[in-house]
Amino acid sequence: MAEIDTENVSKKELSRRKFFILISGTLSSFIAFILGIPLIASILGTVSKVKNKKLSKLTRVSTIPILKPVNLNFATTKTDAFIKSVEPQDAWVIKRSNSDITVFSPICPHLGCRYAWNSNQKLFICPCHNSVFDINGKVISGPAPRGLDTLPKKIQQGELFVLWERFKVGIPQKIEVGD
């Protein structure tokens, strides 16, 4: 009668178990990695979006009239996944002095229409639902839940630069939603 080598069998059993543990561990890590890719990409995407934000040149400060809001065009440059795109934007600029300038987003904080300066009434008026704002962006009347949104700006060597941003509409708080 053949003798069973119990020591050899248990060694084989042990190495088979080790093999399965190793395989299942590797598989779990691989699945976790695959599932984690969108999260990592979204985090990196947000970081790169912030990094890619660039100030755009608006105009020379000396060319802006005092206390007469002007709508100025500019271009924003965005780089997403190595693709560079240029988008036209505009903003309302109010100069009180060479060092006191406000730049407003041209988007109405009510529901996102574009408002305009009415030079006769000296007010910003949104044609969609008649929200009215004064020269400082304060709501005078209408359904707008907050005043006009200011954009970050910088004056450097006599030039005015702006940072393009978008904000949530229809709420009292000014919350950035990206570009």
Task: Please identify, using beta-carbon distances, which residue of 25 and 127 lies nearer to ligand FES.
Answer: 127
Which of the ranges 19-27, 63-71, 96-104, 136-144 carries the binding residues for ligand FES, by CB under 6 A? 136-144
| Structure token digits, residue 176 | 């950035």
d(CA 123, CA 119): 7
Among 113, 123, 155, 163, binds ligand FES (CB under 6 A): 113
User: Which regions of the chain does DSSP assign to beta strands (E)?
Assistant: 56-60, 70-80, 83-97, 100-104, 116-118, 123-125, 132-133, 139-141, 153-156, 159-162, 166-167, 176-178
Q: Is there binding between residue 145 and ligand FES (CB under 6 A)?
A: no
x/- map, 65-104, ligand FES, by CB under 6 A: ----------------------------------------
Q: Is there binding between residue 128 and ligand FES (CB under 6 A)?
A: yes
Q: Is there binding between residue 135 and ligand FES (CB under 6 A)?
A: no
Query: Residue 163, Cβ neighbours under 10 Å: how many?
Result: 15
Q: Is there binding between residue 108 and ligand FES (CB under 6 A)?
A: yes
CB–CB of 76/56 below 8 Å? yes
In terms of residues, how long is the chain? 179
CB–CB of 52/82 below 8 Å? no
Which of the ranges 5-13, 46-54, 80-88, 140-148 carries the binding residues for ligand FES, by CB under 6 A? 140-148
Q: Is there binding between residue 139 and ligand FES (CB under 6 A)?
A: no
Which of the ranges 27-35, 111-119, 149-157, 158-166 carries the binding residues for ligand FES, by CB under 6 A? 111-119
CB–CB of 112/169 below 8 Å? yes
Q: Give the residues lining the site for ligand FES (CB under 6 A).
A: 108, 110-113, 126, 128-129, 131, 142-144
